[in-house]
Amino acid sequence: MDHADPKDFYSDRKWCPSCDRYVAYLMSVTTSYCVECGGEVRLFSEDDWESFSASMEARRPRSKRSKKTNSGRKSA
Ligand SMILES: [Zn+2]
């Protein structure tokens, strides 16, 4: 019943810098607020954000542009 899946945990918690932990939050149009202290919360802590964006970066396919050399060109 109360199966604590970390994914669930993170989906309805956000990081409150003031409380220094993940908290339940109230969502408004642009911002979410901590229910504990009323401060602005963010989706991730800074550390988690770092690793999140790092993993996004890693996932992004690198467009390798092969250098076009005009070696095949025949000029007579
Ligand atoms: Zn808080």
Assigned domain for 66 exists: no
Question: What separation in Å is there between the alpha carbon of 33 and the centre of ligand 1?
Answer: 8
Instruction: Give the contacts of 9 (CB within 8 A, at least 6 positions apart).
Output: 22
Count of domains for the chain: 1
Neighbours of ion ligand 1 (CB under 5 A): 16, 18-19, 34, 36-37, 39
Assigned domain for 71 exists: no
Ranges of the chain whose pLDDT falls below 70: 1-11, 63-76
Domain that holds residue 25: 6-58
Do residues 32 and 12 lie in contact, with contact meaning Cβ atoms separated by under 8 Å?
no
Entry pTM: 0.53
Assigned domain for 73 exists: no
Count CB neighbours of 69 within 10 A.
7
In this prediction, residue 66 carries a pLDDT of 64
Instruction: Give the contacts of 12 (CB within 8 A, at least 6 positions apart).
Output: 24
Assigned domain for 41 exists: yes
Assigned domain for 44 exists: yes
Assigned domain for 16 exists: yes
